[in-house]
Amino acid sequence: MCGIVGYIGPDNAAPILLNGLSKLEYRGYDSAGIAIYNNGKIEIVREVGKLANLYQTTDGGSAMPGAPGIGHTRWATHGRPSERNAHPHSTERFSLVHNGIIENTQYLKKKYLSKVSFDSETDTEIIVRMLQTFCDGGEEPFTAIAHIISEVEGSYALAIMDREHPEVIYAVKNKSPLLVGRGDGFNMIGSDAMAMIKHTNTFYELMDREFAVLTCDSVEIYTRYGKHVKREPFTADLDLTDTEKGTYPHYMLKEIEEQPVVIRRIIEEYTNENGDLTINDKILKDLKECDKVYMIACGTSYHAALVGCKMLESLAGKSASAYISSEFEYDMPILSQKPLFVFISQSGETADSRAVMVNVKEKGYKTLTITNVKGSTLSREAEHTLLLYAGPEISVASTKAYTAQIAVLAVLASCVAGKKCPLDLKYELSVAANVIEGLCSERDSYKELAREYVGDSTRCFYIGRGLDYFVCLEGALKMKEISYVQTEGFAAGELKHGTIALIEKDTPVIAIVSQENTDLHTRSNIEEVVSRGAKVLTISRSGLSMKKDSIIVGDVAEILTPLVTVVPTQYLAYYVALLHDRDIDKPRNLAKSVTVG
Of 145 and 396, nearer to ligand M6R (C-beta) is 396
Out of 298, 423, 436, 473, point to the residue binding ligand M6R (CB under 6 A): 298
Site string for ligand M6R, 348-377 (x = CB under 6 A): --x--x------------------------
- Closest approach, Cβ 414 to ligand M6R, in A, equals 23
Which 3 state secondary structure label does DSSP give 411?
helix
Compare residues 37 and 302 and give the one whose CB is closer to ligand M6R: 302
Count helices and strands (H / E) in the chain. 18, 25
Among residues 19, 31, 243, 347, which is the contact residue for ligand M6R, using CB under 6 A? 347
Among 31, 124, 367, 398, binds ligand M6R (CB under 6 A): 398
Binding window for ligand M6R (CB under 6 A); candidates: 188-196, 206-214, 294-302, 424-432: 294-302
Q: CA–CA separation, 436 vs 298, rounded Å?
A: 25
d(CA 301, CA 308): 10
- Interface residues for ligand M6R in 473-532 (CB under 6 A)? 477, 481
Whole-number Å distance between alpha carbons of 563 and 556:
9
174 interacts with ligand M6R by CB under 6 A: no
> Which residue lies nearer to ligand M6R by CB, 152 or 396?
396
Binding residues with ligand M6R: total (CB under 6 A): 17
Q: Which of 479, 310, 514, 461 is nearest to 399 (CA)?
A: 479
Piece in contact with ligand M6R (CB under 6 A), picked from 293-301, 315-323, 355-363, 449-457: 293-301
548 catalytic residue (yes or no)? no
Whether the link from the prior residue into 68 is cis, omega within 30° of 0, is: yes
Binding of ligand M6R by 301 (CB under 6 A):
yes
Active site annotation includes 2:
yes
- What is the closest distance, in whole angstroms, from the C-beta atom of residue 108 to ligand M6R in the complex? 29
Q: Which amino acid is at 356?
A: V
| 95 near ligand M6R, judged by CB under 6 A | no
Least distance (Å) between residue 352 CB and ligand M6R: 8
**H/E element, 228:** strand 228-229
Q: How far is residue 421's CA from residue 402's CA, in Å, rounded to a whole number?
A: 23
What minimum distance in Å lies between the beta carbon of 299 and ligand M6R? 2
CA distance 201 to 570: 32
Name the residue nearer to ligand M6R (CB basis): 303 or 541. Answer: 303
Distance CA(25)–CA(242), nearest Å, equals 15
Least separation in angstroms between CB 180 and ligand M6R: 22
Quick one: which of 142, 141, 162, 140 has its CA closest to 221? 142
The one among 42, 432, 594, 596 contacting ligand M6R by CB under 6 A? 594
Task: Please choose, from the candidates 427, 434, 431, 432, the residue with its C-alpha nearest in 3D space to the C-alpha of residue 276.
Answer: 427
Q: How far is CA 433 from CA 264, 315, 430, 439, 561, in A?
A: 7, 20, 5, 10, 11
Residue 484, CA distances (Å) to 384, 394, 409 in order: 37, 19, 30
Nearest distance, CB of residue 68 and ligand M6R, angstroms? 31
| 385 near ligand M6R, rule: CB under 6 A | no
State which residue, 64 or 577, has the beta carbon closest to ligand M6R.
Answer: 577
Judge whether 24 and 593 are in contact, CB under 8 Å. no
Please identify which residue in 307, 397, 411, 472 interacts with ligand M6R, judged by CB under 6 A: 397
- Position 394 contacts ligand M6R (CB under 6 A): no
Q: Which residue's CB is nearer to ligand M6R, number 296 or number 544?
A: 296
Give 211's strand partners: 172, 222
Closest separation in Å from C-beta 348 to ligand M6R: 7
Q: Which residue in the list 173, 318, 366, 592 is annotated as catalytic?
A: 592
Assess 346 for contact with ligand M6R (CB under 6 A).
yes
Give residue 435's Cα distance to chain centre. 26
Nearest-angstrom CA–CA distance, 225 and 187: 24
Under the binding rule (CB under 6 A), the answer on residue 19 touching ligand M6R is: no
CA distance linking residue 239 with residue 264, whole number of Å: 18
Burial of 442 (0-12, 13-18, 19+ CB in 10 A): middle
Residue 595 engages ligand M6R in binding (rule: CB under 6 A): no
Nearer to ligand M6R, 398 or 515 (CB): 398
Residue 21: CB atoms within 10 A of its CB come to 26
For ligand M6R, which stretch binds (CB under 6 A), given 202-210, 344-352, 431-439, 461-469?
A: 344-352
Residue 375 has phi, psi (to 5 degrees) of 80, 5
Residue 176 contacts residue 595 (beta carbons within 8 Å): yes
Active site residues: 2, 592
Which residues of the chain form contacts with ligand M6R (CB under 6 A)? 298-301, 345-347, 350, 353, 396-398, 477, 481, 590, 593-594
